[in-house]
Amino acid sequence: MKTQTPPCILSAWETNEEPLRYWLAHQLAESELATDVLHDIFLKAVSQGMAFCEIDNPKAWLFQVARNHLVDLYRKDKYFFRLADSEQSGLVSEETDDKAVVDDLTQCLPRVLSELSDDDCDIIRRCDIQGLSLQQYATENQLTLPATKSRIQRARKRLREQMISKCQVKTDDSGAVCCFIPRSSDPE
């Protein structure tokens, strides 16, 4: 048995199809995709059946469904776009080079950490290196969580300043570490 589309849906669709089509075409670069989305919106309206007739503002409902559909499309496509093979290989080698520089930079860490105050060294070692949570650190040291967060931020800032100064860390235009002068952990 074939069910009929309620007249309220057909009337709302007839009134709003062109504005929706125009808006979707403006939002999406591909006209075929805009047509597909328009079709999906119509099906969503039809799936509401007679409940659609009780909607106070059908135009607003249709545009809200369109916006939600676009958000879903953008979220899905954001993480799954394809790169050409040549672009992929360039990213892999840059990433590998960046990791190598940062991994090598750890040579400076023991020396610079030893030159920080005991409090700074302790919170960085325990939380950042050993993985203790800030809440656990706060409890063990009878501190409030906000005080612990402030303490680790200040310690990280001083560590960064020491790394830049003592290891002569340089960054590129994007802020990534590009080079440094290694220091041994033995005092000079």
Query: What number of other Cβ atoms are within 10 A of residue 126's Cβ?
Result: 18
pLDDT value of residue 80: 43
Report whether 163 contacts 170 (CB < 8 A): no
Report whether 24 contacts 37 (CB < 8 A): yes
The helix (H) or strand (E) run that includes residue 170 is: strand 170-171
Based on DSSP, count helices (H) and strands (E) in the chain, helices before strands: 8, 2
Report whether 163 contacts 101 (CB < 8 A): no
Token duo for residue 37: 């989305």
Report whether 58 contacts 52 (CB < 8 A): yes
Cβ neighbours for 118, distance < 8 A, ≥ 6 positions apart: none
pLDDT value of residue 168: 73
Residue with tokens 């659609």: 52
What is the pTM (predicted TM-score) of this model?
0.43
Question: What is the residue extent of each domain of the chain?
Answer: 7-78, 91-179
Class of domain 91-179: mainly alpha
pLDDT value of residue 26: 83
Question: Per residue of the chain (188 residues), what is the pLDDT tens digit?
Answer: 456 888 888 999 999 999 998 888 888 877 788 888 899 999 999 988 888 888 889 999 999 998 888 888 777 655 344 444 444 444 443 444 445 555 566 667 787 888 899 999 999 889 888 888 999 999 999 999 999 999 999 999 998 888 878 777 777 676 666 666 665 444 44
